[in-house]
Amino acid sequence: MDAADSVSMLGAAWEALTILADPMRLGVLCLAAFLGVVLGIVPGIGGLAGTALLLPFTFAMDPYTAFAFLLGLGATTSTGDPIPAILFGVPGGAGSAATVLDGLPMAKRGEAGRALSAAYMSSLMGGLFGALLLGISVPILRPVMLYIGTPEMLAISILGLSMVAALSSSTPLRGLAAAAIGVMISMIGSEPRTGAFRWTFESLYLWEGLPLVPLTLGLFALPELCDMMISRHSLKGKPIQNVNLGIWQGAKDCFTEWWLILRCSWIGTALGAIPGIGGSVVDWVAYAHAARTVKGGRQTFGKGDVRGVIASESSNNAKEGGSLITTIAFGIPGSAGMAIILGAFLSQGLVPGPDMLTKNLPITYSMVWSIAIANIIGAGLCYAFSPQFARLATLRYTLVLPVVVCIIFIGAYEGSRQWGDLVALLIFGLAGWTMKRLRWPRAPLILGVVLGDIIERQLFISIRLYGADWLLHPMVVVILCVAALGILRPVISALLDRDRSWDLNLQLPKFSPGDTFPVILLAAMAFLFWETAGWSWSTALVPQIVTGVAFVAVLGSLGNAVFRRGISARSPLDEAKAEASQAIHMDLIEENEGMAISEILRRALAFLGWLLGFLLSMGTIGIIPTIPLFVVGFMRFEGKERWNLVVPMAIGVTLFVYLVFDQLLTMNWPVTWIGQAFPALRVIPSV
């Protein structure tokens, strides 16, 4: 890179910083950091659901503000996670699971403040390190991206899908099927080249395709709320210690262990850049590394060693920078959260790849600054308000869930402002919860939705420019081989090693109720493939290929489950987690483990009933009158909360929605049944 390029990049970085220094954008970033910390503290929601929840409210923002908001929220969720993990032994999110092992014993012996301070400071240092690596990677990737053409970008998109599919589940065929189904969903609507309609079933709502927002909220937000209701999250008791004691010692520990933070931050950034890993295993790998490498770690880790807290939290926050590297450069998100942010790219009219490293370079550097500044703000908030934030962790689900449900319905309606958005929200919510319960990965599906249109467009451009010769480009050949290897790796390992867990001798078929789901998928895909019979060649080519791939993958997954039930191969990520848990002789279990399936289904159906009731009331009398009825009904019937708490909550949520969404944002609410029957009532908001 010559001097001119260096000056250009420094100029872009400075321009991005001055744009973010605008008071309004800084205010948005501070709000995002605050929300991220809160979402990390409250068990059961998490940053993934929070990002999906708040995505629709960024559509009216400019790119700098939108990404500052989303990345600020995502970067600080991990900063709030350790508060319930250390004080109560319940991590706010999966990324702080390993923090419990040493944080809780420290709190029990009177060192809660020290453990929290170490978590905040190590999170800050890890987050800044991840942002630094992201900034350094931009000038390295820039010359590489300038030599990549359409065929290579197509191959990279396919590689991204295959990697997420292969690494996001212990059964890669399920990941591949989910990715292919996501691509199929992206093809619903009018075909861009010819205008022909695909899989619209004469529905006007589907003519322009399924909006990303209700799909995302359904897949990621509603299942988390449903599981919150099933588990009935509430942390009883008070913090074990005064969380202000030992603050200085915890910060000092981090500077003393700077080399450990550096190593674990490297681990977090590197694993964050690998699609499909996300935050569920990063902290375990870093924790296992620390336990093996620090002096006396094998004897003291798990018994209240502050270095265990430092290792877990520094790696957890560093992963955001690594995840964003591949998202910006190649459109390959390193996590499900980044897949949602990739949707924000498209909503802002931005395409990941060379443009983000050339003409949109200031926007890229604004993302670097957003992560860095948000980590500083998040750590500062935690230091300043630890006692107050600790109380947030004790909120009952009956206080959190009704508020979030109201916001989700409003956010979903922002998709295209049609009733179909709300129906799609419930359908994909049911699908998302089913996938989560049956361990079908959701990240490949949303990634397929986001990348499907890009893949199809790049395919036809490549064919038009190069014919079939695009498949012979050296880089394309290498990338596609790597993609195929990722999907076929378990089969190849089985053939080479004949590992006992991959015994090729089939057993007698054993069916379970969970097999109903893939059977339904097979029937649906057979019908959709049959629907393509009357389409033109160019319109049907990609849908038929993708549907065929999905059908074979689902069939293979079903056959593997039925004929080899009880025998499953482990992915590299499962092996890493198992290795980590074995090293520390401990693993965490889900809160509802041991609960009867009938009780889980009963609570899930009750949650679905509340959602259907909300939708029915919204269609009858409007959303604003529905909100107080829903809040009062849920809090009284579900949680038997006191009236002196229920009434202020209902009034507060209703006023918030009315002032922010009706008056400030002037949302155009859907016409209700009463509004149609009595037109004179339409002057009332939402009716």
DSSP string, 311-380: HHHHHHHHHHHHHHHHHHHHS--SSHHHHHHHHHHHHTT--SSGGGGTTTHHHHHHHHHHHHHHHHHHHH
Range of lowest pLDDT (70-74, 604-608, 658-662): 658-662
- Please determine, for residue 576, whether its predicted confidence score (pLDDT) is greater than 50: no
| Average pLDDT rounded to a whole number, residues 18-27 | 88
DSSP 8-state secondary structure symbol assigned to residue 199: S
Cβ–Cβ contacts within 10 Å for residue 143, how many?
11
Rounded Cα distance between 211 and 202, Å, is 17
Rounded Cα distance between 379 and 116, Å, is 11
Asked if 450 and 212 touch (Cβ cutoff 8 Å), the reply is yes
Q: Where does the pLDDT of residue 505 fall: very low under 50, low under 70, confident under 90, or very high at 90 and above?
A: low
DSSP 8-state secondary structure symbol assigned to residue 532: G
Range of lowest pLDDT (10-14, 296-300, 486-490): 486-490
State which H helix or E strand residue 469 sits in. none
Cβ–Cβ contacts within 10 Å for residue 350, how many?
19
Q: Which comes out higher in pLDDT, residue 576 or 617? A: 617
Q: Where does the pLDDT of residue 614 fall: very low under 50, low under 70, confident under 90, or very high at 90 and above?
A: very high
Pairing of strands 189-190, 197-198: antiparallel
pLDDT tens across 539-571, in order? 888 888 889 989 998 898 888 777 766 554 444
- Please determine, for residue 675, whether its predicted confidence score (pLDDT) is greater than 60: yes
Q: Which comes out higher in pLDDT, residue 464 or 272? A: 464
Asked if 340 and 446 touch (Cβ cutoff 8 Å), the reply is yes
Rounded Cα distance between 605 and 433, Å, is 12
Here the tokens at position 68 are 């500052």
- Please determine, for residue 77, whether its predicted confidence score (pLDDT) is greater than 60: yes
Q: What is the pLDDT of the chain when averaged over all its residues? A: 77
| Average pLDDT rounded to a whole number, residues 376-381 | 88
Rounded Cα distance between 486 and 309, Å, is 33
Q: Which comes out higher in pLDDT, residue 304 or 585? A: 304
Q: Where does the pLDDT of residue 133 fall: very low under 50, low under 70, confident under 90, or very high at 90 and above?
A: confident
Q: Where does the pLDDT of residue 489 fall: very low under 50, low under 70, confident under 90, or very high at 90 and above?
A: low
Q: Where does the pLDDT of residue 572 fall: very low under 50, low under 70, confident under 90, or very high at 90 and above?
A: very low
Task: Return the pLDDT at 592.
Answer: 55
Of 168-172, 186-190, 458-462, 526-530, which has the strongest mean pLDDT? Answer: 526-530
- Please determine, for residue 219, whether its predicted confidence score (pLDDT) is greater than 70: yes
Q: 505 burial class (0-12, 13-18, 19+ CB within 10 angstroms)? A: exposed
pLDDT tens across 139-168, in order? 777 666 666 777 877 887 777 777 666 655
- Please determine, for residue 523, whether its predicted confidence score (pLDDT) is greater than 90: yes
Q: Where does the pLDDT of residue 346 fall: very low under 50, low under 70, confident under 90, or very high at 90 and above?
A: confident
Q: Contacts by 518-525 with C-beta closer than 8 Å and gap 24+?
A: 518/554, 518/555, 518/557, 518/558, 518/561, 519/558, 521/177, 521/181, 521/550, 521/554, 522/551, 522/554, 522/555, 522/558, 525/181, 525/184, 525/550, 525/551, 525/554
- Please determine, for residue 670, whether its predicted confidence score (pLDDT) is greater than 80: no
Task: Return the pLDDT at 547.
Answer: 92
Q: Where does the pLDDT of residue 580 fall: very low under 50, low under 70, confident under 90, or very high at 90 and above?
A: very low
pLDDT tens across 160-208, in order? 777 666 655 556 778 888 888 988 998 888 887 777 888 888 888 888 8
| Average pLDDT rounded to a whole number, residues 248-265 | 88
Task: Return the pLDDT at 266.
Answer: 86
- Please determine, for residue 258, whether its predicted confidence score (pLDDT) is greater than 80: yes
- Please determine, for residue 9, whether its predicted confidence score (pLDDT) is greater than 60: yes
- Please determine, for residue 583, whether its predicted confidence score (pLDDT) is greater than 50: no
Q: Where are the domains of the chain?
A: 25-145+241-394, 172-213+439-584, 597-683
Q: Where does the pLDDT of residue 497 fall: very low under 50, low under 70, confident under 90, or very high at 90 and above?
A: low
Range of lowest pLDDT (3-7, 379-383, 409-413): 3-7
Q: Any idea what the Cα angle at residue 117 is, between residues 114 and 120, rounded to 5°?
A: 150
Here the tokens at position 312 are 């877990």
Q: Which comes out higher in pLDDT, residue 443 or 650? A: 650
| Average pLDDT rounded to a whole number, residues 57-68 | 83
Task: Return the pLDDT at 686.
Answer: 56
Of 12-21, 44-53, 350-359, which has the strongest mean pLDDT? Answer: 12-21
Task: Return the pLDDT at 91.
Answer: 58
**Above pLDDT 90, what percent of the chain?**
6
| Average pLDDT rounded to a whole number, residues 481-498 | 66
Q: Which comes out higher in pLDDT, residue 320 or 263? A: 263
Q: Which comes out higher in pLDDT, residue 127 or 237? A: 127
Task: Return the pLDDT at 325.
Answer: 78
**Above pLDDT 70, what percent of the chain?**
78
Q: Is 189 helix (H, G, I), strand (E, B) or coil?
A: strand
Q: Where does the pLDDT of residue 530 fall: very low under 50, low under 70, confident under 90, or very high at 90 and above?
A: very high
Task: Return the pLDDT at 189.
Answer: 86
Rounded Cα distance between 616 and 603, Å, is 20
- Please determine, for residue 278, whether its predicted confidence score (pLDDT) is greater than 60: no
Q: Which comes out higher in pLDDT, residue 338 or 30? A: 30
Q: Which comes out higher in pLDDT, residue 416 or 20? A: 20
Q: Which comes out higher in pLDDT, residue 273 or 427? A: 427
- Please determine, for residue 577, whether its predicted confidence score (pLDDT) is greater than 70: no
